[in-house]
Structure 1
Amino acid sequence: MKPDKRKPAYRFLLESGELPERADRADSLLSSCTVCSRKCGVNRLDDEKGFCRTGLLPVISSYGPHFGEEPPLVGTGGSGTIFATHCNLACRFCQNSDISQCGRGSEIIPSQLAEIMIRLQDAGCHNINLVTPSHIVPQLIRSISSAAGQGLSIPIVYNSGGYDSVETLRLLDGIIDIYMPDAKYGSNAIAADLSRVPDYADVMMAAIREMHRQVGDLVIENGIAVRGLLVRHLVLPENLARSDLVLPWIADEISRETYVNIMDQYHPDWQVSGRTEAKYPALRRGITADEFARAVRIARDAGLHRFPDL
Structure 2
Amino acid sequence: MEKLKSFLSPCKLCPRNCKVLRDRGETGFCGVTDKPMVSSFGPHFGEEPVLVGYGGSGTIFFTGCNLGCVFCQNYDISHELKGEYITVSQLAEIMLYLQERGCHNINLVTPTHQVPQIFEAVEEAKRRGLKLPIVYNCGGYESVEVLKELEGLVDIYMPDVKTFSREFATKYLKAPDYPEVVKEAVTEMHRQVGHLEINEFGIAVKGLMVRHLVMPGWTEDSKEILSWITENLGRETYVNVMDQYFPYYKACDYEELCRRITKEEFEEVYNFAKSLGLRLAV
TM-score band by shorter chain is over 0.9
Alignment partner of 1:287 is 2:261: yes
Alignment partner of 1:125 is 2:100: no
Q: For residues 242 and 47 of structure 1, what CA distance do their matches in structure 2 show?
A: 39
Q: For residues 194 and 53 of structure 2, what CA distance do their matches in structure 1 show?
A: 21
1:31-110 counterparts in 2 under 5 A?
A: 31-110=9-88
Paired position in structure 2 for 1:4: none
Paired position in structure 2 for 1:245: 224
CA RMSD of aligned residues (A): 1.1
How many angstroms does 1:61 deviate by? 0.2
Residues 62 and 108, structure 2, Cα contact 8 Å, conserved in 1: yes
Paired position in structure 1 for 2:204: 225
How many angstroms does 1:300 deviate by? 2.0
How many angstroms does 1:303 deviate by? 2.7
TM-score by length of structure 1 reads: 0.89
Residues 187 and 241, structure 1, Cα contact 8 Å, conserved in 2: no
Q: For residues 260 and 246 of structure 2, what CA distance do their matches in structure 1 show?
A: 5
Unaligned runs of 5+ in 2: none
Paired position in structure 1 for 2:186: 208
Residues 219 and 268, structure 2, Cα contact 8 Å, conserved in 1: no
List 4+ stretches of structure 1 deviating above 4 A.
none
Paired position in structure 2 for 1:192: 170
Paired position in structure 2 for 1:307: 280
Unaligned runs of 5+ in 1: 1-22
- Equivalent residue letter for 1:89: L
SS at match of 2:280: coil
More off after superposition, 30-39 vs 109-118 = 30-39
1:166-195: per-residue Cα shift (whole Å, max 9, x none)? 011011000000000010001122111001
More off after superposition, 234-243 vs 44-53 = 234-243
- Equivalent residue letter for 2:187: R
1:16-27 counterparts in 2 under 5 A?
A: 23-27=1-5
- Equivalent residue letter for 2:274: R
How many angstroms does 1:240 deviate by? 6.3
TM-score by length of structure 2 reads: 0.97
Q: For residues 97 and 149 of structure 2, what CA distance do their matches in structure 1 show?
A: 25
How many angstroms does 1:241 deviate by? 7.6
Residues 184 and 241, structure 1, Cα contact 8 Å, conserved in 2: no
Q: For residues 234 and 152 of structure 1, what CA distance do their matches in structure 2 show?
A: 32
1:221-243: per-residue Cα shift (whole Å, max 9, x none)? 12000000000000001116810
SS at match of 1:212: helix
1:53-100: per-residue Cα shift (whole Å, max 9, x none)? 111112100000000000000000000000001100010011110111
Residues 219 and 269, structure 2, Cα contact 8 Å, conserved in 1: no
Paired position in structure 2 for 1:18: none
